[in-house]
A and B are shown apart, each in its own frame.
Chain A
Amino acid sequence: MTRTRQIGREALLWIGGALGTLCLLSLVAGWAFNVTPLVFASGSMSPTYDAGALGIAQEVPAADLEIGDVVSVVNSKGDRVTHRIVGLQDKGGSSTLRLKGDTNDVVDAELYNVRSADRVVAGVPLAGYAVNAAASPFGLFVAALVAMAALFIGFGSRRDEPQGASPARARLLVPAGLVSAVALGGVVGATGLAPWAFTSAYWTDTATATTTATTPAPVTHAQPVCTSVQGSGQNKQEAKLTWPALGLQYEYYWELWKGTSPGGTLYSSNTIGPAVAPTPINLMFGIVSGGGGNDSYYAKVWTRLVSDHSNVGSPTLTLLHSGPRPNGPNWWMYCGPA
C-alpha cells in the first residue's frame, strides 16, 4: 500500500469516527440531559448570538423560566423561534411568554403559551454554519459517502489478506450494517426523538407613518331667505325661512318673538334636527293663535352643535309681520318689517 493511500485511509477513518461520535454523543446527550443544539438563522439575537451561531439549549419546565432568558419555542406556524423573554406570566404548570429579539425594536406579535421551553445556555459562534451545511441534502450525501467509505475500509475484504472463514457473510456484513444504521436513524427522526432543532431567530422591523386629520372650524348657517308663500284656503299665507343645512353635526334652534327686536314677547321656540349639507332647511311661520292685527314679529335662528347642543356664534335675525288677508277677515304672516 502506498503512503498516500495510507494517509487517505487514516484520514477518512478519523474524520468518520469523530463525526460519527459527535452524532452519537449529541443523540445520547439529547436524551439524557434534554440538550438540543440550535442553529441561529438570523442576527436578531446579535450580538449575544450572531447569525450562524450554534446554541446549546436545555429543556426546562415553565416554572424555571425567567425574564431575560433566551428560549426557543415553537410558534403557531410550527417554526422555532429563539428570542429573549421580556414578559412572563406564570399560570401554574404553564407560562405565557412575551418574546423579543435583542435587535428587534418590537416584541413578537405572538404570545407563546408553554409548559416547557428550550433555554439557551451556551453558544458557539459560526458553528451553526457547519451544522447547517451538514444537514443540507449535499451535506448528508457527503456524510453518507464518508461513513460508507470508512465502513468499507474497516470491514470490507482486502486483497492482501487471506479470506476469512465465511467470505459470503463478510461481504453481506457491510451493506447490512449500512442499511440498518440508516434505518435506525430514520426511526429516530420519524418518531421525533432526534434532539436536534433548527431555529429562526427571526427579524422584525416596524415603521410608522403619521398624519393628522381635522374637521373644519365651526360654522354658522347663512342668513335665512324669507319668502312669503301664498297657498290656498284659510291661513295659507305663511312666511318661509330657508337656509342650507351645514351637515349632520349641526342642528338649529329658533325663537319667534312678537314685537320689535330686541324686545317683545317670546311666542314659541323649537329645535330643527340636523340634515346633510346643503339640504335646504325650511322653517314656516303661519299666523300665531290670537295673533290678529298688524304686528311686528321677528325670528331668531341659532346654529347648534349636535354633540352638546351648544350655540355656535350669534343667531340670525329675520323680521316678520302680520297683516290682513287681502280679501278676507283673517290675518296672515308676511316676510319683512311691518
Chain B
Amino acid sequence: MDRREVDRREVKDRAARRRWFGRGRTRALLSAGMLVGIGAVATSAYWTDAEQVPGTTINSGTMHIDLAANFRQRPESYAWNAFVLTGLTPGTSKSAELPVTNNSRGGVTFSYRIQTSAPGALGAALEVSVYRGATSNGTTCTGGTLLGSANTPINTFDQAAGATLAPTSSHNLCVRVTLPLAAVVPPSSSSAITFTFPATQVNS
C-alpha cells in the first residue's frame, strides 16, 4: 500500500478511537454497572422481604435503659427500697411504682421486657402483676395496661413491655406482689426479688 493509504488508515483509526475513547464510552459503559447495582439494591431492599435491609438508620448513639431517677448507668442495679415487702402474711398484696426511662444518647428507641425471679420457698409462693402506665396506692395498681396475666408466679414472669420507648420518654410501671392466702411459707423466710429489664434497640 502506498504512503497515502497508510496515512488515511491511521487517520481513520485515530478517529475511530477518538469516537470511542474521546467520548468516554468505556466510562459510560462502566457507569451502567451502577444501574445494575441500583436494580439489585432496589429490588432486594424495597420489593423483597429478604435479609438485606439497606437504608437502616445508622445510629451512633448509645443506649441506656434507666430505672427510677438513675441516669445512664451501665450496668445498672437499682436497690428498690421503696418497695417494702417485709412481713408478708398470706393473703396480702403490696405494690409500688417504678419509672423506666430511655436515656439513650442519640435517637435510639428500644423495646424491653420485664422478668422477675425470687429464690426459696417464699419466692416459689409469690405472685406478681405488672401494669404499664398505672398508679399504685401501696397495695394495688390502678389503671394502665396489664402485662401478661395478673398474679403470675414470680419465677415464671417474663413479659414484653408491649410498647417501645422513644428517647427521653418513660413508662411508669406499677408492680404488685402478692402472697396468696393458700401459701404455705415458713415464718422468717426471706427472698431477694430481682426485676430485670432487658432492652433491645429497635430500628424504626
Are A and B interaction partners?
yes
Chain A residues within 8 Å of B, Cβ to Cβ? 9-10, 13-24, 26-27, 39-44, 50-52, 74, 78-80, 103, 105-106, 109, 128-129, 131-132, 134-137, 140, 143-144, 146-148, 150-151, 153-155, 177-178, 181-190, 192-194, 196-200, 202-219, 247-249, 274, 276-277, 305-307, 312
Contact yes or no, A206 B35, CB < 8 A? no
Distance in Å from the Cβ of A175 to the closest Cβ of chain B? 12
Q: List 6 A-B contacts (CB under 8 A).
A: A24-B37, A40-B58, A153-B28, A206-B76, A247-B90, A249-B186
Within 8 A of A (CB), among B169-185: 177, 179, 181-185
* A248-B182, A277-B89 as given contacts; A214 in contact with B189, CB under 8 Å: yes
Distance in angstroms between the alpha carbons of A237 and B51 in the assembled complex: 86
Contact yes or no, B31 A19, CB < 8 A? yes
* A154-B27, A203-B201 as given contacts; A215 in contact with B89, CB under 8 Å: yes
At the interface, yes or no: B168 with Cβ under 8 Å from chain A?
no
Contact yes or no, A16 B63, CB < 8 A? no
Distance in Å from the Cβ of B23 to the closest Cβ of chain A? 6
Return the contact of B193 from the options A50, A146, A185, A213 (Cβ within 8 A). A213
Contact yes or no, A194 B65, CB < 8 A? no
Total count of chain B residues near the partner, CB < 8 A:
99
Distance in angstroms between the alpha carbons of A15 and B33 in the assembled complex: 12
Within 8 A of A (CB), among B189-204: 189-201, 203
At the interface, yes or no: B108 with Cβ under 8 Å from chain A?
yes
Distance in angstroms between the alpha carbons of A154 and B21 in the assembled complex: 9
Contact yes or no, B33 A215, CB < 8 A? no
* A21-B30, A79-B203, A213-B193 as given contacts; A184 in contact with B36, CB under 8 Å: yes
* A19-B34, A206-B199, A213-B122 as given contacts; A189 in contact with B194, CB under 8 Å: no
Return the contact of B83 from the options A184, A211, A218, A247 (Cβ within 8 A). A211
Chain A residues in 8 Å Cβ range of B56: 39, 41, 132, 198-200
Chain B residues within 8 Å of A, Cβ to Cβ? 23-68, 70, 73-81, 83-91, 98, 100, 104, 108, 110, 118, 121-123, 126, 177, 179, 181-201, 203
* A80-B53, A147-B31, A213-B190 as given contacts; A41 in contact with B77, CB under 8 Å: no
Contact yes or no, A213 B177, CB < 8 A? yes
Chain A residues in 8 Å Cβ range of B35: 20, 144, 147-148, 178, 181-182, 185
Return the contact of B58 from the options A132, A203, A209, A312 (Cβ within 8 A). A132
Contact yes or no, A150 B24, CB < 8 A? yes
